[in-house]
Amino acid sequence: METLQRLHWLRRVLLIKVVLTFLAWGLPALMAPPAFLALFDIAMPEDPIFLRLFGAVVTAVGVAYCHAYQDPVKVAPIERVKRP
């Protein structure tokens, strides 16, 4: 596979990661009202601080993925997975 073709596929994967990170995890956990969570059989905890913090962290990761999507070569360390 050519380098440009690999970068094209990497950008596609990063775009999917950005969309799913924001829409499936980050924003619902950060801002969803209890009625929205009830649609998915998720009970709102009495103290939702940890749910909101999880949403904030995942949204921040989504911002990092968005930054990596814009220029995958320049910000390669964001995309790497450290293996033991």
Encode pLDDT of 40-72 as tens digits: 888 888 899 999 999 999 999 999 889 889 988
Q: Report whether pLDDT(75) > 80.
A: no
Structural domains in the chain (count): 1
Q: Is 36 among the domain residues? A: yes
- Per-residue pLDDT tens over the stretch 3-12: 788 888 989 9
Question: Across residues 23-49, what is the average pLDDT?
Answer: 89
Residue with the bigger pLDDT between 1 and 54: it is: 54
- 79 or 61, which is more confident? 61
Residue-number span of the structural domain to which 49 is assigned: 3-7+15-79
Query: Would 48 be classed as within a structural domain?
Result: yes
Rounded to whole angstroms, the Cα distance separating 56 from 16 reads 19
In a domain? residue 35: yes
Instruction: Let me know if residue 84 belongs to a domain.
Output: no
Does the pTM surpass 0.85? The reply is no
